[in-house]
Every structure is written in C-alpha cells, then in structure tokens.
Amino acid sequence: MPRWLSGSHPSRDNRQALASCDLTRKAADVGASAHRTVDFRPSPNRPWGCRGNDLSVGTIPLQAGTDVVVAQITVLPGGSSGWHSHPGGAIVVIQQGAFTVYRSVGSQCMSTSYTAGQAFIERPGEVDQVVNTGTIPYVLFVTFPRVPQGGPTRIDQPNPGTCTGV
C-alpha cells in the first residue's frame, strides 16, 4: 500500500521548504470547445514559480473534451507511489527531494533518479512506481492532461514483476 502524505500541514519551521506554488485554473470558451489552462504564478516568497529542467524526450498530445488536472503530491522518505499508470500521461516538476522512478518496459526494469529542480513526463499508459530515496519528503507538482471527464488521473496496476525488490 502506498505511503502518502497528502495535503500536509508542515510545521512553521518547514513552511518555506514545503511551500507550494500558487495555482490558478481558468476555463475559457473558444468557439464551440472549452480550453482549460493552468497558470503557475510566482508568489513573493517564490519569484521563480514552479520550474524544472525537462529531462524527457517526447511529447504528450492534448485532446479536446478531456480534463486537465493539477496536483501537489508529497511523499515521505521511504514511501512509494505503488505501481500505477496515468490515462493521459503526466508532466512532473520536482520542487523538493529526491526519488527514483522504476518503469516496467517489456521484460526489463528501467530506473531513473530525479532531484529538485528537474522535470519529466510519464507517457499515457506507462507502468511505473516512484520511491522516495531521499531523506526528506519529496514534493511534486504534476499536471495530468487528457484525463477522461470526471475520471481518475491514476490507474493502480499490479506489480509487473520486472523490478525485483521494488
């Protein structure tokens, strides 16, 4: 079972380190379709906003008529996401911490480690698990495009058996 710390209320001493970005979700009708945009605005304490250096190769196509969801995800050291996928993929920006993403690719286990200030994408349907390998909680800001209207951003998956010990 995943060990999550979601919607946490950090102590006063840690508020700056765990501060979140100001998120604004806007909907504007353009012609017959509605477009949703997500605006990551800097705050006085974080003039840089939410940024990460993209380490991915590839794109995630958008689709009219689907939802775009933004979430802040915090996981304690040693915690994990559990095996999962995202129906429309995910765009991940790491604000704090360090973790390793384990991906099941055919019969192979691929792993990539990330730290604060980096960003990457998870492609639609890609099966992976994220493990906090650091000494502090990791904090992510994740944009989930192409989510079926009203549907889940995440689909739990069985352990594929390709990454032993994970």
User: pLDDT digit string (tens) for 86-99?
Assistant: 999 999 999 999 99
What CA–CA distance (Å, rounded) separates 96 from 18? 8
The DSSP-derived string for 116-136 is TTEEEEE-TT--EEEEE-SSS
What CA–CA distance (Å, rounded) separates 17 from 101? 23
Q: What does the pLDDT read at residue 51?
A: 64
Q: What does the pLDDT read at residue 34?
A: 33
Q: What does the pLDDT read at residue 60?
A: 76
Phi-psi group of 49: left, alpha or beta (phi > 0 → left; psi -120 to 50 → alpha; rest → beta):
left
What CA–CA distance (Å, rounded) separates 75 from 138? 5
Give yes or no for a contact between 164 and 90, defined as CB atoms under 8 angstroms apart: no
Coil/strand/helix, residue 105: strand
Strands 90-96, 118-122: pairing is antiparallel
For residues 110, 92, 166, 79, the Cα torsion angle rounded to the nearest 10 degrees is: 160
pLDDT tens column, 21-75:
433 333 322 222 333 333 344 445 544 455 667 777 777 778 888 999 999 999 9
What is the band of 3 on the pLDDT scale with cuts at 50, 70, 90?
A: very low
Number of C-alpha atoms within 13 angstroms, CB side, residue 141? 20
Q: Whose CA is closest to 55, among 115, 102, 137?
A: 115
Q: Whose CA is closest to 114, among 52, 50, 165, 159?
A: 52
Which listed CATH number (2.60.120.10, 2.60.40.420, 3.30.10.20, 3.40.30.10) goes with 50-156?
A: 2.60.120.10
- Please give the residue that has the higher pLDDT: either 106 or 13: 106
Assigned token pair, 44: 């006085």
pLDDT tens column, 12-34:
233 233 333 433 333 322 222 33
The distance of Cα 162 from the centroid of its chain, to the nearest Å, equals 22
Indicate yes or no: pTM above 0.85. no
Mean pLDDT for 138-156 is 94
Identify the residue whose tokens are 């380490």.
Answer: 55
